[in-house]
Amino acid sequence: DSGVTQTPKHLITATGQRVTLRCSPRSGDLSVYWYQQSLDQGLQFLIQYYNGEERAKGNILERFSAQQFPDLHSELNLSSLELGDSALYFCASSVGQGVYEQYFGPGTRLTVT
């Protein structure tokens, strides 16, 4: 158990819908990272937050957004969902910003039908 929690574990929704994925980092960790794992794209970095502020952006679509709240949990919002958004979404946390170990949550499996 990494100490990072993600909810829900599974999500099935229809095209055009909007969903919110939630992540709680390990106690004491200030950085949260979101990654997408799909068969065709592999593991891709989406976005990082550090202590409530966005710090880095990767291959994140404009239909996707995220935020980190004062209690340090983070939410990833996916809207206007398409079939191609079906993937595993992982959250990871680390102590700070830098070359710190990232601890991954169990992931949320999103299926868009």
Partner 1 sequence: GDSVTQMEGPVTLSEEAFLTINCTYTATGYPSLFWYVQYPGEGLQLLLKATKADDKGSNKGFEATYRKETTSFHLEKGSVQVSDSAVYFCALSDRGNDYKLSFGAGTTVTVRA
Q: Please say whether the beta carbons of 31 and 96 come within 8 A.
A: yes
Q: How far is CA 8 from CA 13, 76, 94, in A?
A: 13, 12, 21
Options 29, 66, 103, 110; binder of partner 1; rule CB under 8 A: 103
Write the CB contacts of 46 (distance below 8 Å, at least 6 apart in sequence). 33, 34, 35, 36, 57, 58, 59, 60, 64, 66, 76
Q: Nearest to residue 34, comparing CAs of 26, 42, 44?
A: 44
Span 38-97, contacts to partner 1 by CB under 8 A:
42-43, 45, 48, 55-56, 58, 90, 92, 97
Least distance between partner 1 and beta carbon 11 (Å): 16
Options 32, 78, 107, 110; binder of partner 1; rule CB under 8 A: 107
Options 19, 25, 33, 110; binder of partner 1; rule CB under 8 A: 33
Task: Write out the residues near partner 1 by the rule CB under 8 A.
Answer: 2, 4, 33, 35, 42-43, 45, 48, 55-56, 58, 90, 92, 97-107
